[in-house]
Amino acid sequence: MKRHYYSERISNFLKSPSTDILGILADNNEFALEQTQKESWNQEIKILKEVLKNYSGSIFFEYSIPRMGKRIDVVVLIKNVIFILEFKVGEKEFLLNALDQVSDYALDLKNFHETSHKHLIAPILIATNAKAVLPIIAITHHNDNILLPIKTNIELLSQVISDVLRFADGENINLENWAEGSYSPTPTIIEAAMALYNGHSVSEISRKDATAKNLKNTSEAISKIILKAKENKEKAICFVTGVPGAGKTLVGLNVASKHFNKTERSSTVFLSGNGPLVAILREALTRDKVKREKQKGNKKIKKGEVLSSVKAVIQNVHHFRDECLKDINKAPFEHVTIFDEAQRAWNQVQTSNFMQRKKNHPNFSQSEPNFLISCLDRHKDWAVIVCLVGGGQEINTGEAGISEWVESLNVSFPKWNIYVSDKLTDSEYSAGNALKILEKHKHVVYDESLHLSVSLRSFRAEYLSLLMKNLLDLNLKEAQKNYKSIKNKYPIVITGDLEKAKKWLKEKARGSERYGIVASSQAQRLKPLAINVKSPMDPIHWFLDEKNDVRSSYYLEDVATEFHIQGLELDWACVTWDGDFRHSKDGWQHFSFVGTKWQNIKKEERKTYLKNAYRVLLTRARQGMIIVIPSGNKDDFTRNPKYYNPTFDYLKEIGFEII
């Protein structure tokens, strides 16, 4: 599949009639071709025929960036430089979102396009009606061969190209090889959901290198289980395991979008108990769909209608449960259900308490897994449940781990076929003694393709999750070794100064790379730093809105806790560490702030939840993080420096740089 609407050697582009070039662009255009677009292309062609008349190389119009769902206006390859040209026809100003846009394109090619990795990339924003101001040509402080975005108008564009070529060094680009270079992106879950919902496959939007577990294999294994169950009229459940950020949710969304058919009684639904994740994905898909439909010329599209269709694919597991309660004999519409973070399903006590308090069901005696399996078991022919299981992710009271699912199958649903990741036996998945019972079960298949072993959240540091596991397990030597292996690709720094941390984030982030502050939901004594974890925040605005919105993460005012951010990610994160989770010579100490003072947490279950909360916070950043451990205040007994200093010293000993 071509990644561009038009490509040609510059020499041929200069000789071709503009009408022929415009015709090719129009033929390949996937949206409604409006007069404004034709005029923009005409002007771009006219400008570039003049600017490029003394150069040789290649030119590409409307170059696709699948991860972002966007296209670069023009890419030009000359000697050893990749020029990214973004035209704003008729504009007099260089707007911030346009500068971010051209930076994003440069970063995408540098990070994910194989034949762009080693070459200088020059992102250029052309506001055609802007005043002539000689631009500055400079490399970014990241020192990764990407220039700072260059602002220019039509008159100075030729000089800009000439200046960049004098600035550049390195070997010339192989023009044939560049166009054929493999594209291996690492999208955020939001980007991935939008791409999948718009018809892309998981293989198109995921990495293909040898170090990454092939998500395609896992998706295909699940599809085979679904097909077998449908053909043989049987019921099956499969457990997919994976380290944090390995792509479990991506696999689930891929299966849901692939098998979703609202006209057949064989449809698929993606379910999650993670309210913020569901809300954010729905809103992102809806905004994206509305935008695309308007680009295609559908001016009558209504957001409410789009949201309704999105809700059919992605649902809150508790709403699904409530629908099944309305008629206990009626099978749900869907034959295939995918439960994200299945280990977070409630145990029997938590479910019974909730049903009595909130749903007026005083005698409800099932755990959430038991009831959900029973809902699919109502089908007379076939059904499939896909459980996506994260390790060490339980962060809330009553979350049962995976054992409740297994015990329910053993006791109540012995005829179901069970497909199990060969890693489900690992202690971090909390399967407990239930797995021993499975050994005697007649219908169990262990399949290594149901495990995702490598974190894809960070394309810079795949083994971040292992570092954080060793950090939290107080395995100092292993943590030191882990960090040495990733520090050149994935910076982690520590500080006691929140303002320094904010400055660091803003300096590190380029384009629209998202950054924000995260903290434990128990971190109640960060208020002197203007961080209030109890203050209401809207995760939709925090994750989806732009830099000029005070509700967005970019503003560094609202803070997200583990409950807001689990299952999602930032590019750069500021993790603020309070006295709730303290390092000591005897190990971690666990506290909650009640009234006016810290109180020891004594229940082992709650200690685990707090540790897992920090595990979530420390594995959200794709490109790097800064950890703020306050210095405390000796005059405030709730923020005594001894609550913070040992933690700071421990992180320093691992090797994190102090700023």
How much is the pLDDT for 165?
Answer: 95
| Torsion 259-260-262-265 (CA) sign | positive
In contact, 451 and 240? CB cutoff 8 Å: yes
Categorize the per-residue pLDDT at 309 as very low, low, confident or very high, splitting at 50, 70 and 90. confident
Q: Cα-flanking dihedrals φ and ψ of residue 293, to 5°?
A: -65, -40
Q: How far is CA 595 from the centre of its chain?
A: 37
500 vs 116: CA distance, rounded Å = 33
> Can you read off the two tokens belonging to residue 301?
């599209």
How much is the pLDDT for 264?
Answer: 54
Weakest mean pLDDT among 192-201, 517-526, 612-621: 192-201
* 1: CB partners within 8 A, 6+ apart: none
pLDDT in tens, 10-39: 999 999 999 999 999 999 887 767 788 889
496 vs 636: CA distance, rounded Å = 17
Which residue segments constitute the domains of the chain, with CATH numbers given?
6-180 (no CATH), 215-274+313-452 (3.40.50), 464-658 (3.40.50)
129 vs 144: CA distance, rounded Å = 31
pLDDT over 70 (residue 213):
no
| Torsion 459-460-463-467 (CA) sign | negative
178: β partners: none
Tell me what the mean pLDDT of segment 73-90 comes to. Answer: 96
How much is the pLDDT for 210?
Answer: 39
532 vs 387: CA distance, rounded Å = 34
How much is the pLDDT for 211?
Answer: 41
How much is the pLDDT for 305?
Answer: 87
Categorize the per-residue pLDDT at 652 as very low, low, confident or very high, splitting at 50, 70 and 90. very high
* 264: CB partners within 8 A, 6+ apart: none
How much is the pLDDT for 253?
Answer: 85
Q: What is the pTM of this model?
A: 0.83
In contact, 121 and 147? CB cutoff 8 Å: yes
Q: Mean pLDDT, the chain, as a whole number?
A: 88
How much is the pLDDT for 606?
Answer: 92
How much is the pLDDT for 398?
Answer: 57
pLDDT in tens, 243-272: 766 778 888 888 887 766 555 545 788 998
Sheet holding 581-584, edge to edge: 581-584, 587-594, 597-600
Report which DSSP code applies to 32: -
Query: Where are the strands (E) in 66-164, listed by range?
Result: 70-78, 81-88, 120-127, 150-152
| Torsion 424-405-402-239 (CA) sign | positive
Tell me what the mean pLDDT of segment 79-101 comes to. Answer: 94
654 vs 80: CA distance, rounded Å = 40
How much is the pLDDT for 602?
Answer: 95
CB atoms within 10 A of CB 209: 11
Q: pLDDT over 70 for what percent of the chain?
A: 90
How much is the pLDDT for 558?
Answer: 97
Enumerate long-range contacts of 527-535, CB under 8 Å, 24 or more apart.
Answer: 528/630, 528/633, 528/636, 528/639, 529/498, 529/576, 529/628, 529/630, 530/557, 531/498, 531/559, 531/576, 532/559, 533/559, 533/561, 535/559
Rounded to a whole number of angstroms, the distance between the first and last alpha carbons of the chain is 47
How much is the pLDDT for 391?
Answer: 64
Categorize the per-residue pLDDT at 427 as very low, low, confident or very high, splitting at 50, 70 and 90. low
Weakest mean pLDDT among 13-17, 302-306, 495-499, 593-597: 302-306
321 vs 346: CA distance, rounded Å = 12
438 vs 429: CA distance, rounded Å = 15
How much is the pLDDT for 356?
Answer: 77
138 or 511: which leads in pLDDT = 511
Sort residue 90 into left (φ over 0), alpha (ψ -120 to 50) or beta: left
Tell me what the mean pLDDT of segment 188-196 comes to. Answer: 81
| Distance (Å) of CA 473 to CA 468, 575, 603 | 8, 18, 18
Nearest to 651 by CA among 489, 483, 529: 483
Report which DSSP code applies to 549: -
Tell me what the mean pLDDT of segment 73-99 comes to. Answer: 95
Categorize the per-residue pLDDT at 396 as very low, low, confident or very high, splitting at 50, 70 and 90. low
pLDDT in tens, 453-488: 776 666 666 678 889 999 999 999 999 999 999 999
194 or 282: which leads in pLDDT = 282
622 vs 460: CA distance, rounded Å = 7
pLDDT over 70 (residue 200):
no
471 vs 477: CA distance, rounded Å = 9
How much is the pLDDT for 510?
Answer: 94
